[in-house]
Structure 1
Amino acid sequence: EKLVTIQPNPVLTDKDGKASVTLFAGSAAGKETISAKFQTISESISFEVSAPRLSLQMTDTEGNPASDTMPINSSRNIVAILTDSGETPMPNQTIKFSATLGTLQASSDMTNEKGEAKVSFSSGSVADKGKITAEFGKSSTEMEFTVTGSTINISLQVLDKDAAPVTQLKVGDTGRLEAKLTDAENAPLVSKLVTFSLDQDIAEISPETKTALTDSDGKASVSLTASKTGAGKATASYENYSAT
């Protein structure tokens, strides 16, 4: 990759015997050598192209500085600031953005006269830690952020043999424990492993693993057979979420 571009090239000498060109630095840094040649005579000069400075910040939708912790389903602006080594803004340069969590409205933006490129960012419905990266040529910078809030809803009910919700079973009767998993937008979570348990030894859960995968509706169920009289509590668990 060329560190600089020379324009125009070649060039004619003026009345003083001088010829000049303009050097345009690219996005890479390093040492460069430029040579001027006339017939069999040449002269070279070496110089260094310094790396640009790239930084990231998060602002609210009004442009005010914002915390890097945000709730689910909220919006922020991601601002990249590009300057040269002397901290002079670099306008009209394309900055690429990427995120490991949430959604960026655009994957790139061009810097303005202040060297700022901005994209809108939505946190989405998943609570977790994420990272946003801005890239300009071989220069890049990262910013970590945290999305907070409950992202999974879990419910549990006891069903009789006719699939009707009940609060008790007779000894010898078989029903089902049915859990339902949904995300923050109430969409079903499919193929998630749910674990069921009882706090009292008054019924038997089948299968022996006491687990089941959620179906296309986000539902997982196991068989429940009452074996003794008494009161007990059933629990359905998925990761750190549970319902009784």
Structure 2
Amino acid sequence: MRIIAVDDELLALEDFEDTCRELGITDEIIKFNNPLDALSFVATNKIDIAFLDIEMPVIKGIELAKRIKAICPNTRIIFATGYGNYALEAFGVDAVDYVMKPYEPEAIKRAYNKALLVRDVVAENHVFIKTFGFFDVFVDGKSVSFPSAKSKELLALLVDRNGGVVNTEQAIAILWEGRKYDETVQSLFRKVLKSLRTSLEEAGIIDILIDNRNQRSVDKSKFACDYYDFLENGKSDRVKYFGKYMEQYSWAKDTENQINEIID
């Protein structure tokens, strides 16, 4: 595998590489202290993991991650930060983990192992839906784009229901919490559903969605999912669980608590 490390602090780059070697990580590590140089490299070279400092001049780490993912969608992003308040935003750009500065070997080891796990699970399945951490959908290892955030959230809700049926009123109550159930919000829902269908059709996976008039669900036989694997295997599959479930959706907290109860 090939790892790039990007940090404007040379000492931090050396510290990262030294820590990796001490941990027995033998992958190729290419260091950049200029984000623009890193982008030029990514444009012509395949990389597997990008270890990015968030606070850098010229290009911030989060923006750099977005540009790297645009060039190489399968890159696993790990952020380094001295500021805990960046954590949620970091995961918001599909990062597998973040580590705090100064570096702790165990934190780097944890992040590296997560990157390996996500890569391997995604590669093994034609369609893989990731719920641990942030919710994402992969087809042949490439993440599916959802132009509408609500359409992605609707799919997440259906996946969370584990094959169970969700009707229009139930979906609206969750996706637009507190909103009056009227024609306006029903019209919004129809647009979201249409957007979801379009995204799935473009990805070639429309068959995962079961749409029967007022009721929707997912066909669990059409994809692999870390949450479903966990439910089937229980504690023996806990290595795939990172402590968070569909982290971008507040309504998913109940399921996360249930998972934590199983583990505890």
TM range (shorter): under 0.3
Structure having the larger proportion of residues in strand: 1
Structure having the larger proportion of residues in helix: 2
Higher relative contact order, structure no. (Cα contacts within 8 Å, ≥ 6 residues apart): 2
Q: TM-score, normalised by structure 1?
A: 0.20
Higher radius of gyration, 1 or 2: 1
